[in-house]
Amino acid sequence: MDGKADGRAAESGDEHDDERGEDRGEERREEGTGKAGGNGIGQGGVAGLSLPARVVVGAAGVVVALAAAVHLSMVFLHVAPQNSVSRQHAAAIDAYVYPEFEQNWKFFAPNPLQQNTAVQARAELRRPDGSTTVTPWTDLSAQDGAAILHNPFPSHTRQNELRRAWDFYASTHDAREQPVGLRGRLSEQYVRRIVVSRLGGGRDGLPVDRIQVRSVTVPIAPPPWSDEKADTKPVYRVLPWWPVTTDDRAEAGR
């Protein structure tokens, strides 16, 4: 009797074990299906998007790639030695690079700049009777410095536009203020339009007829503990009067 009871108990235990095994197998299959398919979608990433969404993503990728290619090409032609391509498209390259993307390594130069240069300007105003009056000098560099001081997020234009424009002019003109090379006239136009935009197309109801620009360069004094002697007397570079054109006024009004 005990043997038969033990046999029935063993058979009943085996049946229960088989049922539990089948239940665990079904649970694993359900979990696997949920992980692989989710809501019935077996693919992820871009492939899981709809056709219009894939078209938008592809178009955006093409635009980004083209923009990066154009930017790298322009900067490369700017820093590379002059060649037929850079000479032929010099105006377009300069218009793209200046002033935001110009490459400047003076900070790491063996002889870094040891002077402060300020750019100042004044305007000649024309009265209705034909007579003229001249405004006092306006320190444009000081205006930029005041806008940057104590500003945690200073404007890139305020930091570089005027300074780089003046460097551009100085590097393309000789001691008699005559342009050297093809970029000389472009640098004059660039500086003139910046100055007109800062001074405005008119003052006190009178239109600006001409402008004049000058630079004031002051060497940086050596520290008190140094035996070095330096002349800190300011040096002025005064440019001739430039007539203000209609295009200059239009640019200033933007």
Gap between the Cα atoms of 167 and 184, Å rounded: 12
Check residue 80 and give its pLDDT.
Answer: 79
Residue pair 164/196 in contact (Cβ under 8 Å)? The answer is no
In degrees and rounded to multiples of 5, residue 47 shows phi and psi of: -65, -25
| Angle (CA) 188 194 128, round 5° | 95
Check residue 38 and give its pLDDT.
Answer: 46
| pLDDT per 10-residue tile (average), the chain, 254 residues | 48 52 53 48 69 90 94 87 80 82 61 81 92 94 90 82 92 92 89 91 84 93 80 92 88 68
Check residue 49 and give its pLDDT.
Answer: 83
Check residue 36 and give its pLDDT.
Answer: 46
Pairing of β 235-238 and β 202-203: unpaired
pTM over 0.75: no
Task: Quote the tokens at residue 230.
Answer: 């330096």
Which among 154, 153, 146 has a CA at the least distance from the CA of 118?
146
Write the CA distances from 38 to 28, 47, 206, integer angstroms: 15, 15, 73
